[in-house]
Copies of this chain bind each other. A is one copy, B any other.
Amino acid sequence: MPVISASKMQDRRDSILAAARAAFAQAGFERTSIADIARAAGVSDGLVYRYFANKRDLLNAVLTEFYERTMVDLDAIAEREAPFRTKLHDLIHRHIEAFVVEADACRLFIAEVRTAADYQGSAIQQLNRRYTSILVRIIDAGIAAGEVRADIDKRLIRDVIFGAVEHRAWAAVNGRALDMEATSRGLVDLLCHGLMAPAAGDGP
């Protein structure tokens, strides 16, 4: 026999979550206190703990929302019928876009969540796995179509792409400009053709 309806409880949860998202984005995780979040949501400190296990769980909830939103787009890119190179480009481009458009969420994930002691095996790590596995699907399709060398290490490609974008996009997260199109094109070109000068006699 709940004292208030399920939808009222959902509203409460949503308003606490929204307050947390705004506060974390504005001041970062460490420098946001539960008291700040509770005040912004118009509730008492204690109530936050009825809806979320602890401060970190609140952060996880903020990021879960972000992941699920972004993955919809990546899935659409992977499922489309298109050449490998196009799909690779579009996935990279959309991934970079996430860093630019949702810089706060990306910063929180990189700085606070991924390095946490309990990240390994967590629900957020599962989401991250699903996110990065979309790229592996694209590579598999490329190999199946004969566009991609069959002997490449798919996990290495994955680490190269996500690692490179993360390094490059950290500038954007910190407020500097980033040319999304130049970066995604450059990365696709480098990956596809490598950086060696053509030996004499190569090419048409």
Instruction: Give A contacts to B, CB under 8 Å.
Output: 28, 107, 110-112, 115, 117, 120, 146-150, 152-153, 156-157, 159-160, 162-168, 174, 183, 186-187, 190-198
A196 to B157, CA, bound (A): 12
Find out whether the CB atom of A197 lies under 8 angstroms from the CB atom of B164: no
**Residues of B contacting A191 in the complex (Cβ-Cβ under 8 angstroms):** 190, 194-195
A147: chain B residues within 8 A (beta carbon)? 196-197
Chain multiplicity (copies): 2
Provide the residues of chain B in CB contact with A157, threshold 8 Å.
190, 195
A168 nearest CB across to chain B (Å): 4
Which of B115, B152, B186, B198 is within 8 Å of A153, CB to CB? B186
- Decide if A187 touches B168 in the complex (CB within 8 Å): no
Least Cβ–Cβ distance between A165 and chain B, in angstroms: 7
Q: Are B190 and A156 in contact (CB under 8 A)?
A: yes
Instruction: Provide the main secondary structure of the chain A interface.
Output: helix
Please pick, from B148, B160, B187, B194, the residue contacting A193 in the complex, using a CB distance under 8 A: B194
Contact B192–A192 (Cβ < 8 Å)? no
In the bound assembly, the distance between CA atoms of A160 and B160 in angstroms comes to 6
Contacts of A195 in B (CB 8 A): 148-149, 152, 157, 191-192
Residue of B nearest to A27 (CB): B117
Can you sample 6 A-B contacts with CB below 8 Å? A153-B186, A156-B183, A156-B190, A160-B163, A162-B163, A166-B167
List B contacts of A196 (CB < 8 A).
Answer: 147-149, 192-193
Is B197's CB under 8 angstroms from A160's CB?
Answer: no
Instruction: Give the one of A150, A174, A186, A198 with max B CB within 10 A.
Output: A186
Q: Which of B117, B146, B164, B174 contacts A160 (CB 8 A)?
A: B164
Complex Cα spacing A149 to B197, Å: 4
